[in-house]
């Protein structure tokens, strides 16, 4: 058992070496597309669709950012509504979203998404997708098995609903920018900043990009979360390998998106929807 005195001693001995932990950035550069660079016809086309998005808290952060950006950009005319499966009976274009499943149970999220898609009656969603949460992954997650279940589930839905475009989403990350308190919480098993869990998220995302890129539509949420505004990539090293991490400036607790993070992700989310569909 880890005692308080042992933790205090460890904090004293390790506080200096924690400075800068998780703040590595890779040299790889990535670029963002500005909302103003999306042509007006693309926004009009997007506004004509019926869209469903299933999520939990990080998805809620993204929706909050989307709503903020819509208010600031008059050309983005999306009707956002928190809804149930019955939302698709609305006889006007809509961007419907709702919480699905529970964090820590990715299969339950997939099962509820399937139920929503299959019980919406005669109304067809133009676009439908859901996202996992960082909380759905831990150090013991069987990445290959979960990925295969995700892929086969989405493929089956696509076959059954050919008029709906199903979008895949990479798994959100957590920040590896640990301070002394974060490190102590991790020793006690109370921190979300478990590097082994973040490795699992990266492995899932790499499978998604490798296996489905060029074949399916993928919204690379994790890639955006890991990219600074200047294009640098936030990363951490585990067992000699470098992996993506959430940019520390995009979060207030290591996992959820703060104002800067949600606006950054929401902007690229909107660009993706307007230009990829």
Sequence ranges of the domains in the chain? 26-276
Which superfamily is assigned to 26-276 in CATH? SGNH hydrolase (3.40.50.1110)
What's the pTM value of the predicted model, to 2 decimals?
Answer: 0.85
At 86 the pLDDT is 55
Contacts 24+ apart (CB under 8 A), 37-46: 38/270, 38/271, 38/274, 38/275, 40/75, 42/274, 42/275, 43/75, 43/76, 43/77, 43/274, 44/77, 45/274, 45/277, 46/76, 46/78, 46/273, 46/274, 46/277
Q: Extract the residue ranges of the chain whose pLDDT is less than 70.
A: 1-31, 84-91, 121-123, 178-191
At 2 the pLDDT is 46
At 213 the pLDDT is 95
* Residues 6 or more apart in contact with residue 274 via CB below 8 angstroms: 38, 42, 43, 45, 46
At 90 the pLDDT is 56
pLDDT in tens, 62-97: 999 999 999 999 899 999 998 765 555 555 798 999
């Amino acid at each position: 058992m880890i005692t308080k005195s042992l933790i205090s001693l460890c904090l004293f001995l390790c506080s200096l070496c924690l400075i800068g932990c998780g703040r590595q950035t890779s040299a790889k550069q990535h670029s963002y597309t500005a909302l103003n660079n999306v042509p007006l016809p693309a926004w009009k086309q997007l506004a004509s669709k019926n869209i469903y998005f299933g999520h939990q808290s990080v998805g809620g952060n993204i929706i909050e950012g989307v709503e903020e950006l819509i208010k600031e950009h008059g050309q983005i005319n999306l009707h956002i509504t928190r809804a149930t499966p019955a939302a698709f009976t609305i006889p006007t274009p809509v961007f419907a979203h709702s919480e699905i499943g529970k964090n820590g149970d990715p299969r339950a999220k997939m099962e509820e998404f399937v139920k929503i898609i299959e019980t919406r009656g005669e109304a067809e969603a133009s676009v439908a997708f859901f996202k996992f949460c960082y909380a759905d992954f831990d150090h013991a997650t069987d990445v290959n098995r979960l990925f295969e279940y995700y892929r086969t589930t989405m493929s089956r839905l696509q076959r059954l609903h050919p008029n709906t475009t199903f979008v895949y989403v990479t798994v959100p990350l957590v920040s590896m920018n640990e301070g002394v308190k974060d490190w102590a919480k991790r020793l006690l098993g109370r921190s979300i900043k478990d590097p082994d869990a973040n490795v699992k998220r990266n492995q899932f995302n790499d499978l998604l990009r490798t296996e489905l890129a060029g074949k399916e539509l993928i919204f690379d949420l994790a890639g955006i979360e890991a990219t600074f505004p200047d294009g640098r990539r936030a990363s951490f090293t585990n067992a000699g390998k470098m992996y993506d991490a959430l940019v520390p400036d995009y979060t207030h607790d290591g996992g959820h998106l703060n104002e800067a993070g949600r606006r950054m992700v929401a902007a690229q989310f909107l660009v993706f929807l307007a230009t990829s569909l």
